[in-house]
Structure 1
Amino acid sequence: MRKTPTFVTVQSRGLIAIPTSIRRHFGLDQPGAQVEVIERENEIILRPHIAVPSDQAWFWTERWQQMEREADEDIAAGRVVVSEGIDEFLAELDS
């Protein structure tokens, strides 16, 4: 969704200030927030970057994300079994 452009002035040492409303919208108003800077076809793109804690990095590996997509496909296709309780769940595993 494009809005009216906002112009900011590049300060000394290349610093720019992102307007408060934009920082809040993208969660960049928190200490340590990061922005990815991308140069592409005569554009500079600023993309909010959310750091992943090291103990959760496994979830974002390509292998795990592929398994997540497969699980989503199985759920969408109805290839799931719903158990009403632990006993029913264990019985289903045994069968």
Structure 2
Amino acid sequence: MSGGLRTHKRDTKMRIRAFPMTMDEKYVNSIWTLLRNAIQEIQKKNNSGLSFEELYRNAYTMVLHKHGEKLYTGLREVVTEHLINKVGLITNSVLDTHFFSS
């Protein structure tokens, strides 16, 4: 026994709580506009001026801040629009030329 003084060791773990950050809706929309325009440029095979690191970071930021649904539905709309307007026109023109006729 050491002189009767006891030091009680408390649990001194530091707990770091995430600071809830919300993204301004205008900022989310501006990120999505940037991504949508970049996707459309990629679909046109005109991606030389794009920074894929920047695009990835922006998409990741949207998901991180709980805007993944907006990103997903927007991407679906852009791809669907491309398939209908561009690819659909190509397949229709091929079908119109009786490409598959016997």
Bin for the TM-score computed over the shorter chain: under 0.3
Q: TM-score, structure 2 length as denominator?
A: 0.21
Q: TM-score, structure 1 length as denominator?
A: 0.22
Structure ranking higher in helix proportion: 2
Higher Rg: 2
Q: Greater RCO between the two (CA within 8 Å, min separation 6)?
A: 2
